[in-house]
Structure 1
Amino acid sequence: MSFVLDPLPYAQDALAPHISANTISFHYGKHHAGYVNKLNELTKGTPYETQSLTDVVKNTFGNPATVAIFNNAAQNWNHTFYWRSMKQQGGGPATGQVKDLILQSFDSLDSFSKAFTDAALSQFGSGWTWLVEKDGKVSIVKTSNADNPITSGYNPLITLDVWEHAYYLDFQNRRVDYANLFLTNLVNWDYANQNLVNKAHL
């Protein structure tokens, strides 16, 4: 198997009570694992089989003949990045260089938090909300379905999964509560700062 399901960076109950072990079990163990298995099936015997996950995402993007490979590769990439964007006892104000860059682009940390939450709420249907860096500046971008900002030259720092399966068992239709808790109790600013120095290449 060329692609593997990366281990979670914490126990399945580590993010409780904000995200339950039940949600992690389904989201990671079923949804994410399903993308990995399908990607291996689709890439077997093709040149993509030996490429990195990042390269598969970039090399299949925008090609009608490789839509299925892109969708499963990108969803694998996005989910791996999402798990790392959170940590036990995370959340709170941004720290380090990421904080400095946020303050250069937003009036305050509170303004950034509101903009990030607003982006998560305004994403129609399934998708992702990202804090990204490009040319030394940070911004918030939204992507639909499996899309990933690396295909537009951005360097992702953190992401929030706003597909309904990410939060419905715990929050039902209260996406706003999920987005707020991500920022106040879960987001991993250490990982965001790490990605400023070394771009995530999965």
Structure 2
Amino acid sequence: MLQHFLVIRPSGEAAADASGETKRSSDEADRSGIRPETAITALGFRVQSLRGDQKTKALAAKCEAVILAVPSSCLDEWVARVLSWRDWPVIWWCGEAAVTESCHGGLEVDGVLFPGMTPAQIHWTLMISSSHHLRRTQWQKEREQLLSRLEERKWIERAKAILCEMKKISEADAYEFLRTQAMNERKRVVDVASSIVNVYQWISENKTGGSRK
């Protein structure tokens, strides 16, 4: 269960975006006057609060999750920023006036809090946010592993095709050649395959270049 939160607010009460339009601050959007620090501390959790991103990288290592008390207009920007510091649960404190218009399925956050919530609802949301982050992290790892295996398979298939062409052997024999070579050189099969492909491409390019001279 999360215990230590970092609350981040924009440096200014109101900032202008690139188009010159003034963005509402989180405080202005929150008509109830309730701040996330007050709501979270009341539940017995530790909270540290900062404006802007000064010293936040250092604090990120000490806290377990971040609560972004920012307007929806700059939420994506802040999510990207805090995730560049570390992979941790990101929760949005949504001003009550913006709940209906801003809470949609495309939010890149692990949870959403707003002033109208009861202590029990806030506590439950924090638990769900932690669980969602764990699932998201696991999904990202599985996705990266899958993409890595697909990339490795591409190298192996290309190396097999080259071996089949040059040695006039079957795909099964080509793979056995790669596997045996990898064992002899104490390398992974994909490393042997990529070496074969790179050397073959180098030879082909030099042959092509030589024939043009």
The TM-score with structure 2 as length reference comes to 0.25
Report the TM-score when normalising by structure 1. Answer: 0.26
> Which is bigger in relative contact order (C-alpha 8 A, separation at least 6)?
1
